[in-house]
Amino acid sequence: MKLTNERLLNDAAGLSQLTQKSLPVKVSYAIAKNIAKIQSELKVYGEEKEKLIEKYSVKGEDGKTIVEDDNKITISKEFLADWEKDIKELQEIEVEIDIHQFNIDSLVNGNYDMSPGELMLIDYMIIEE
């Protein structure tokens, strides 16, 4: 299944929270497997983002990126448009992930407290038959 880096980034935190819920074994297993796959893809994304930070960030006298006390990095004003273009392109890249899916019946036939937002978060994991 193809998902964008942006979707993976946006879903990562919410999926981790779902692992704390009491869910059917098949659902819990699928979410855990998918989190591992997503984290692997996000590692590659993070490495590529670091390259962009190195390329476009404000550097100190030692030539290294300046990291503020609050862990923020400043992008050089002269490179801001290039940074925005490249980071957007990186986020829009579609990655192929072998998503572990489960049947919707696993959730429907039980009394599981899931919000519509949580269901939207895992919609690509659900098979509706």
Answer whether residue 93 shows pLDDT above 80.
Answer: yes
Q: Which residues pair with 103 in a beta bridge?
A: 127
Is the pLDDT at 110 greater than 80, yes or no? Answer: no
- pLDDT computed for residue 75 by the predictor: 92
Contact yes or no for 102/127 (Cβ under 8 A): yes
Look at residues 37, 40, 34, 22 and name the one whose alpha carbon lies nearest to residue 125.
34
pLDDT value, residue 129: 73
Considering only residues 104 and 52, tell me which one the structure prediction assigns the higher pLDDT.
52
What is the predicted pLDDT for the residue at 30? 94
What range defines the domain where residue 121 resides? 2-127
Q: How many structural domains comprise the chain? A: 1
**Residue 109 pLDDT > 80, yes or no?**
no
Share above pLDDT 90 across residues of the chain, in percent, rounded to a whole number? 67
